Amino acid sequence: MQQMRQQLKYLQAELCSRGGGSVDEMRVLKERITWLEETNEELC
- Mean predicted lDDT score pLDDT of the chain: 78
* Amino acid letter for position 12: Q
CA atoms within 13 A on the CB side of 18: 9
The total of structural domains in the chain comes to: 1
Beta carbons of 1 and 36 less than 8 angstroms apart: no
Crossing angle of helices 2-17 and 23-43, in 10° steps, is 170
Domain range for residue 13?
A: 2-43
Predicted TM-score of the model (pTM):
0.51
Q: Given a cut of 80, is residue 41 above it in pLDDT?
A: no
Q: Given a cut of 70, is residue 44 above it in pLDDT?
A: no
